[in-house]
């Protein structure tokens, strides 16, 4: 939280860490394993977070956090968020500009995208919007990379390779109105 003159400013990805819990934690575990690249689809959790958010936005898929009894969570560390802010912040702006779920005009979308929130509610709402896309994206990635059975005409015998190539080929077109 940064203090500017007497005002409190809430800067995205500099205030809170991101947690994956419940079913999203389980999906994350299938997509990423700490320091085990051969058992992962992504090198770092922050990479998965970023890709998932944009995939969620492109596939118009958001998902609420669903907690379970377990205390176990996967945390995108503050340092990783800070180190990747040059990617994450533009993604956040894209989300805020392109999200249609809030019923905003283009001007309102642009304002929410480029104004640094000055109240906690706006900050939290926008972060949640981004994270809900990220969770939606995690679900999509889990389905496309882990659950998907390669087609007969896939060029690759290894299903992980086939799914990664298919994913990068198939998520180029943005889908409309598929969100929850």
Partner 1 sequence: MKIKSIKLHNFMRYKDDNELKFSTDPEKNVTIILGDNTFGKTTLAQAFRWGLYETFNDTSYTKKKDIVLLNNEVIASMGQTSMQSVSVEIIVENDQEEIKFVRKANFKRKTGDPDDMTIKQIGPTILTMQLLESGVWGNVISNEGDNVEARKYKAGCVQEAIENMFPQNLSNYFFFDGERWNDLKSKTEDIKDSVDTILGVSGLIEMKKHLKDIPRSNVTTLLRGKLQGTSGEYERLRREISSLEQQIEDNQDELDKKRQSIDTVQRTIDSTEKTLNDNRKIEEDQKEYKRLDADIIQYEKIQAEYYADIVKKLSESARFLAASLLPELSDMLSKVNLEGKDIPGVTVDTIDYLIEHDECLCGTKFTENSEAHDFIISIRDLVPPEMLGGAAGKLQSMLETWEQDSLELKDEIIKKANDYEVSTSIIDEKVRDKNELERTMDRKTNLGPVRLQNKQAKEHLRTIQLAISRLEIQIEQDKNNKEQKEIQLDNVAKYDEDNALVYRALAYVEAMYDKASVIANNRKQTTLTDLNRIIGENFQRMFNDKEKYAEIGDDYKIHVYYHQVGSKTNYEEENLSNGETIAINFVFIVSILELAKEYRELEKENDEYGMENAILGLPLVLDGPFSALSNENTVLIANRLPQFAEQVIIFMLDKDWEASELEKYTLPEYCYRVAKEPNSNSSTIEKN
Strand partners, 76: 18
Interaction between residue 169 and partner 1 (CB under 8 A): yes
Residue 76 is classified by DSSP as E
Interaction between residue 149 and partner 1 (CB under 8 A): no
Q: Which of 9, 85, 146, 164 binds partner 1 (CB under 8 A)?
A: 164
Q: What angle do CA 95, 23, 129 make, to 5 degrees?
A: 20
Instruction: Identify each DSSP E strand in the chain by its residue range.
Output: 2-4, 7-9, 18-20, 74-76
Interaction between residue 156 and partner 1 (CB under 8 A): yes
Binding region for partner 1 (CB under 8 A) out of 3-11, 18-26, 73-81, 89-97: 89-97
Interaction between residue 177 and partner 1 (CB under 8 A): no
Interaction between residue 129 and partner 1 (CB under 8 A): no
Give the separation between CA 129 and CA 31, rounded to whole angstroms: 22
Interaction between residue 61 and partner 1 (CB under 8 A): no
Q: Exposure string (b/e) for 1-28, b if CB count within 10 Å is 16 or more?
A: eeeeeeeebbebbebbebebbbbbbbbb
Query: Which residues of this chain interact with partner 1, rule CB under 8 A?
Result: 37-38, 40-44, 47-48, 50-51, 53-55, 57-58, 87, 90-91, 93-94, 97-98, 106-107, 110-111, 113-115, 155-158, 160-161, 164-165, 167-169, 171-172, 174
């Amino acid at each position: 939280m940064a203090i500017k003159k007497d005002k409190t400013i809430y800067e995205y990805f500099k205030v809170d860490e991101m947690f994956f819990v419940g079913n999203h934690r389980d999906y994350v575990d299938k997509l990423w394993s700490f320091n085990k690249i051969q058992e992962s689809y992504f090198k770092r959790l922050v990479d998965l977070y970023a890709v998932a958010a944009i995939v969620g936005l492109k596939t118009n898929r958001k998902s609420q956090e669903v907690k379970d009894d377990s205390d176990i969570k996967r945390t995108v560390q503050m340092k990783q968020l800070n180190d990747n802010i040059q990617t994450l912040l533009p993604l956040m702006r894209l989300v805020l500009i392109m999200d249609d779920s809030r019923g905003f005009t283009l001007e309102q979308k642009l304002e929410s995208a480029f104004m640094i929130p000055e109240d906690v509610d706006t900050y939290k709402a926008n972060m949640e919007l981004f994270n809900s896309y990220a969770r939606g994206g995690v679900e999509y990635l889990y389905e496309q990379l882990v659950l998907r059975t390669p087609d007969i005409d896939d060029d690759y015998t290894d299903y992980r390779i086939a799914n990664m190539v298919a994913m990068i080929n198939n998520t180029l077109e943005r889908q409309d109105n598929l969100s929850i």
